[in-house]
């Protein structure tokens, strides 16, 4: 089965960092918990779903168009901790060594890169899998595009289909941005129609499935309180639908061939060995036929990595 795995890098790195103790370090004190957790999740998903092609998308420091539309966008998110910040370039370097395709676009989020790739290759694969902890990407689910979200640490996952999106939120994936435009998103720092929660949003969108239709037919809203909220919040609701909508038409010319994944390159083994992640090497390369890099262990002060049973 031709399977494309798209990975929201920063979302998964954050997940790994906060799921594992920051006591995971090399003998000279370098933190490795985010590195360890990220590659453990990557290995788990590859083992479970056997992707034939992979792309890992990163955010960039460049302000996105969403920030330009709304200055308060994501402003409440705490700054990245230094122990996490220093691990990100190492993870990027290790991905490069692994042979897996990675991509970023300044001015856009990883979500937009993933949205564009899933749209660009929608007819080229039997299925497309999106690995992320960001529910915004639920809007991309289709009959053959699924979202994988981690739960309970870094080794267990939920699988979202277009059907489960409807069951959970009461809207189809194509109308998920309409839902978010009404209920807001505290993690992204915006509250749109204050006073309209998930239940009210579902009820309103059952009659008029888009906010454009809803706002054009306010006289159909029988609840006077909700009608007033919608009337007072019209501009915000329209703005936040733009912010919530993933861009799916970036200029990305990379071919399907560039995304092929067969196995991890042995260069990754060397990089992980330098970080003293010996148990991780065994997990990552468990199914590898060739093992050309000798695993000569250095003296390790902290052996916590060998004690975490995540598989």
Please tell me the distance from the alpha carbon of residue 122 to that of residue 117, in angstroms, as a whole number: 8
Strands 53-58 and 101-104: parallel
Same domain membership, residue 216 and residue 157: no
Backbone conformation region of residue 71, classed left if phi is above 0, alpha if psi is from -120 to 50, else beta:
alpha
**Which residues have CB under 8 Å from 45's CB, separation 6+?**
5, 51, 129, 131, 148, 157
Please tell me the distance from the alpha carbon of residue 74 to that of residue 67, in angstroms, as a whole number: 8
Same domain membership, residue 255 and residue 206: no
Same domain membership, residue 193 and residue 155: no
Write the CATH number for 228.
1.10.150.20
How high is the pLDDT of residue 78?
85
How high is the pLDDT of residue 153?
67
pLDDT means per 10 residues, the chain with 311 residues, are 97 94 96 97 94 97 92 84 97 98 97 98 97 94 95 81 92 95 84 87 93 95 94 94 96 97 96 97 74 38 31 25
Same domain membership, residue 209 and residue 98: no
Q: Alpha helices of the chain — where are they, by DSSP H?
A: 9-19, 33-49, 65-69, 82-85, 88-98, 110-120, 162-169, 176-183, 198-207, 211-216, 224-232, 234-244, 266-274, 278-284
Asked if residue 295 is part of any domain, the answer here is no
- pTM equals 0.89
Same domain membership, residue 69 and residue 207: no
User: How open is the CA angle 212-214-219, to the nearest 5 degrees?
Assistant: 130
Which of 204, 220, 244 terminates a domain? The answer is 244
Q: Which domain holds residue 11?
A: 3-168+247-259
Write the CATH number for 35.
3.40.50.1010
């Amino acid at each position: 089965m031709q399977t494309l795995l798209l990975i929201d890098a920063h979302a998964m790195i954050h997940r790994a960092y906060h799921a594992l103790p920051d006591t995971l370090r090399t003998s000279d004190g370098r933190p490795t918990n985010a590195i360890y957790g990220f590659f453990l999740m990557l290995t788990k998903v590859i083992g479970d779903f056997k992707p034939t092609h992979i792309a890992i998308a990163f955010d960039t420091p460049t302000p996105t168009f969403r920030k330009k539309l709304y200055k308060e966008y994501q402003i409440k998110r705490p700054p990245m901790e230094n122990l996490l910040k220093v691990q990100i370039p190492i993870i990027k370097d290790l991905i490069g060594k692994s042979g897996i395709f990675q991509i970023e676009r300044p001015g856009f989020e990883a979500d937009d890169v993933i949205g564009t790739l899933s749209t660009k290759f929608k007819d080229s694969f039997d299925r497309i899998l999106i690995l992320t902890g960001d529910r915004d990407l639920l809007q991309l689910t289709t009959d053959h595009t699924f979202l994988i979200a981690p739960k309970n640490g870094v080794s267990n996952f939920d699988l979202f289909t277009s059907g489960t999106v409807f069951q959970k939120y009461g809207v189809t994936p194509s109308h998920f941005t309409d839902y978010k435009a009404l209920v807001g998103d505290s993690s992204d720092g915006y509250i749109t129609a204050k006073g309209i929660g998930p239940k009210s949003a579902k009820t309103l969108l059952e009659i008029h499935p888009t906010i454009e239709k809803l706002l054009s037919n306010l006289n159909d809203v029988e609840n006077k309180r909700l009608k007033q909220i919608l009337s007072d919040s019209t501009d915000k609701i329209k703005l936040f639908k733009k912010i919530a909508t993933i861009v799916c038409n970036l200029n990305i010319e990379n071919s399907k061939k560039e995304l092929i994944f067969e196995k991890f390159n042995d260069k990754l083994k060397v990089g992980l060995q330098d970080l003293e992640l010996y148990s991780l090497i065994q997990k990552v390369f468990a199914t590898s036929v060739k093992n050309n890099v000798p695993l000569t262990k250095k003296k390790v002060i902290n052996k916590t990595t060998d004690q975490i049973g995540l598989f």
